[in-house]
């Protein structure tokens, strides 16, 4: 039977990462605790008092195994139990002061360990690693950090050009002429930038760029929305609608009476965002660009 290469890729990553974080070692980070014990201390430090059954469910541990592990932590004076008020059958778990000190030491060692691993990578590699981990967390149902929007700064414009070129090649087959167009638009924005009437928003999650959009002056009373981008790892979070909403709010504040944009008929997700924001399609125009036959669309929003 031929092995599925995707399964093998996940297994290979698991072997790499468990070795890298020392998951197979009896003592985690040169402490008296196993990795499982360290995770139990983490949960108790970050949650209100928990019952054994809830903790077992959260960590997907066998209740019998977890009970034995907790008894060991109790004997060491790190964990205490008390009966819940009104229900003597329920026992609530909490860290003792000694347990809280032990967890603080573990937390400091963990931050140092991970910080050292990241410092060993070049800046761009660090960003790629954090972005990839965020994608894994999102796809497997985890809770990634919240997304914040900020103005552009050094390095952002190059990133916008690069990611447009890469994503539109991967997802739509656009050739390098599309990336060249994006570079022209981005360069023009910087060279003619008017902070009172134009804006670029960069979306970040856990310090990693996951989206962008530009609003530029088209005419005295007309603004143009340009270069909307949402990274695959951040899709499904409503980020595209949020970025477009920021553009609309800023355009109104800046005194524009109308917003316009140009997109392609095959960009279904973006078109859906524009429809929900109130834009209406005013013209369609077949053209050949970026190595493809496309249908350009012109959209408008009265402010």
Mind listing the domains of the chain with CATH numbers?
5-120 (1.10.10.10), 147-302 (3.40.630.30)
Buried b (16+ CB within 10 A) or exposed e, 7-33: eeeeeeeeeeeeeebeeeeeebbeeeb
Per-residue pLDDT at 98 exceeds 80: yes
Q: What is the torsional sign of CA 108, 127, 263, 169?
A: negative
Rounded to whole angstroms, how far apart are CA atoms 19 and 145?
26
Extended strands (E) in the chain: 50-51, 79-84, 87-95, 147-151, 199-205, 208-219, 222-230, 258-264, 280-289, 292-302
Average pLDDT of the segment spanning 97-110: 91
User: pLDDT tens for residues 139-174?
Assistant: 776 555 688 899 999 999 999 999 999 999 999 999
Residues 149, 214: Cα–Cα separation, whole Å: 12
Residue 114 has pLDDT above 90, yes or no: no
pLDDT at 10 (0 to 100): 83
Mean pLDDT of the region 35-44? 91
Helix, strand and coil in the chain, % to nearest 5: 50, 25, 25
Strand, coil or helix: what is 60? Answer: coil
pLDDT at 100: 92
Q: What is the mean pLDDT of residues 7-15?
A: 86
Q: What is the pLDDT of residue 86?
A: 67
Instruction: Tell me if residue 282 falls in helix, strand or coil.
Output: strand
Mean pLDDT of 231-257: 92
Question: What would the pLDDT profile of 167-194 be if each residue is shown by its tens digit?
Answer: 999 999 999 999 999 999 999 999 999 9
Name the band, by pLDDT with cuts 50, 70 and 90, for residue 113: confident
pTM above 0.85, yes or no: no
CA distance 282 to 261: 10
pLDDT (0 to 100) of residue 47? 77
Q: Is residue 186 within 8 Å of residue 216, measured between CB atoms?
A: no
Residue 79, pLDDT score = 94
In this structure, are residues 214 and 225 in contact, taking their beta carbons and an 8 Å threshold?
A: yes
């Amino acid at each position: 039977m031929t092995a599925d290469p995707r399964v093998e890729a996940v297994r290979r990553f698991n072997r790499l990462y468990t070795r890298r974080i020392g998951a197979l070692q009896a003592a985690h980070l040169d402490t008296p605790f196993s990795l499982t014990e360290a995770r139990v201390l983490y949960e108790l430090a970050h949650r209100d008092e928990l019952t054994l059954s809830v903790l077992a469910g959260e960590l997907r541990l066998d209740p019998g195994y977890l009970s034995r592990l907790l008894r060991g932590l109790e004997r060491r004076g790190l964990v205490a139990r008390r009966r819940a008020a009104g229900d003597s059958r329920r026992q609530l778990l909490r860290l003792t002061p000694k347990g809280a000190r032990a967890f603080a030491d573990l937390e400091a060692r963990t931050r140092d360990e991970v910080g050292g691993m990241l410092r060993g990578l070049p800046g761009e590699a660090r960003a790629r690693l954090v972005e990839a981990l965020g994608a894994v967390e999102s796809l497997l149902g985890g809770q990634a950090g919240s997304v914040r929007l900020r103005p552009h700064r050094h390095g952002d414009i190059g990133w916008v050009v690069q990611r447009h070129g890469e994503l539109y090649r991967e997802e739509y087959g656009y050739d390098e002429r599309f990336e060249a167009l994006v570079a022209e638009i981005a360069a023009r924005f910087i060279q003619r930038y008017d902070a009172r009437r134009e804006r670029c928003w960069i979306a970040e999650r856990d310090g990693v760029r996951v989206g962008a959009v530009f609003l530029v002056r088209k005419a005295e009373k007309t603004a143009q929305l340009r270069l909307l981008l949402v990274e695959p790892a951040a899709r499904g979070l409503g980020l595209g609608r949020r970025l477009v909403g920021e553009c609309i709010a800023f355009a109104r504040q800046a005194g524009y009476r109308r917003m316009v944009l140009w997109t392609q008929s095959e960009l279904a997700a973006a078109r859906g965002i524009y429809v929900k924001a109130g834009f209406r399609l005013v013209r369609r125009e077949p053209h050949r660009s970026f190595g493809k036959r496309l249908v350009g669309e012109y959209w408008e929003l009265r402010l």
